[in-house]
Amino acid sequence: MSVLNGKKILLGVSGGIAAYKTASLVRLFIKAGAHVQVIMTPASKDFVTPLTLSTLSKNPVHSSFFNQDDEDAVWNNHVDLALWADLMLIAPATSNTLSKMTTGNSDNLLVATYLSAKCPVYFAPAMDLDMYKHPSVLSSFNALKSFGNIMIPAESGELASGLSGEGRMAEPENIIAFLEADLESKLPLKGKKILITAGPTYEAIDPVRFIGNHSSGKMGFDLANEAANLGAQVILVAGPTHYKAKNSLVEVISVVSAQDMYDTCHQYFNDVDVAIAAAAVADYRPKVVATQKIKKAADEFSIELEKTKDILASLGAIKKNQFLIGFALETENEIENAKLKIQKKNLDLIVLNSLQDEGAGFKKETNKVTFIDQDFKIEPMELKSKESVAVDILNKVVSHFTKS
């Protein structure tokens, strides 16, 4: 899957003949799984129609600060557009647009949006040979790169003037390849292998009944998707759950019981850099599993239980250089119990959940956690979506490798 999958891309189109290539460029972005919005300068509409790019991007195309044909004159908010984007690409970037970007001359929506962008900005120049080599244009290139913008160099070939040389906008396929390579090189967990557990385990009583819990698995799946988005190779060991990995780079191994999860985790643990135990593993299981469905006969019925193997403690016991993260779901003495688990299970970090906190716990879209590290540094967090909590946890992983 392309690293562009799921990315929100803002494409700025300025007025050069190479604008006709943006139809193919938008199509390739969509094929890669990206979400695309397009901003056009007024001059660019002489080379490619807004209808074409709107149809291909599946979004309205913006080209002015407000829609003049609208009776209500709705403002196209350049700040909102800029903040929406994960990355901005200006292609083609003509000498006129490059100059305005350099000097801050925001007389059109494209440049105004560029000046508000907080995301990485790429630009793909397109102009004739002599223009491309003119000192003023070279000065624009250098200035924009000094601002932190990333240049996608023009290619050599036949130009609109009939000359042949450097100045052709990079072909759409090459722009995609450039973006993918650049983004991949900056992924903070590239080359790291992460083992994550998710969901409940089901401990069989008989062929149709089991002991389980209310864990949905969402937290573990959000962690797996975020880790893959950051470049990690992810092995997700998941108990019974309806969730599916959004990122196709996540390898999902489905298990049922605590023993299944124990065996699978030990199969992979020695080869990973990080393990995050987010699953809600059963602490006990029936000592004897009936081979046939138990009939409802007696007024009372008891099941003898035995302890399951402690997956997290067993991983902590054989840990070498792995960064090991556990979860603790507590209802009382939360901090004290979490600290004991850090020591007992040889953890680097524990993520504490309290069922006392509104919005936290099983089958919720949100979570409220407290981080406690092996030095007992306590960091309480606010109530957030589980996707945001996953980002916070993975930031701890990134920080660990940055320091080491």
The torsion defined by the Cα of 68, 69, 75 and 81, in degrees rounded to 10, comes to -100
Q: Is 213 a catalytic residue?
A: yes
What's the CA gap between 386 and 342, in Å, rounded?
Answer: 23
Give the C-alpha separation, 369 to 384, whole Å.
9
- Contact between 246 and 229 under an 8 Å Cβ cutoff? The reply is no
Q: Which residue has the tokens 């292998």?
A: 193
DSSP category for residue 271: G
User: In this structure, which amino acid lies at residue 282?
Assistant: A
Task: Give me the catalytic one of 5, 105, 213, 337.
Answer: 213
Beta strand spans in 273-400 (E): 274-277, 284-286, 305-307, 323-330, 349-354, 366-367, 369-373, 378-380, 384-385
Amino acid at 133: K
Strands (E), 193-345: 193-198, 203-204, 210-211, 233-238, 250-254, 274-277, 284-286, 305-307, 323-330
E strands present in 147-261: 150-151, 155-158, 164-168, 193-198, 203-204, 210-211, 233-238, 250-254
| C-alpha–C-alpha distance, residues 102 and 123, integer Å | 12
Question: By the 8 A CB rule, do 259 and 201 touch?
Answer: no
Q: Is 297 exposed, middle or buried (0-12, 13-18, 19+ CB in 10 A)?
A: exposed
What's the Rg (C-alpha) of the chain? 27
Sign for the pseudo-dihedral over CA of 168, 171, 174, 179: positive
**Can you count the helices (H) and strands (E) in the chain?**
13, 22
For residue 319, count other CB atoms closer than 10 A to its CB: 17
Give dist(CA 128, CA 143) in Å, integer. Answer: 20
Active site residues: 213
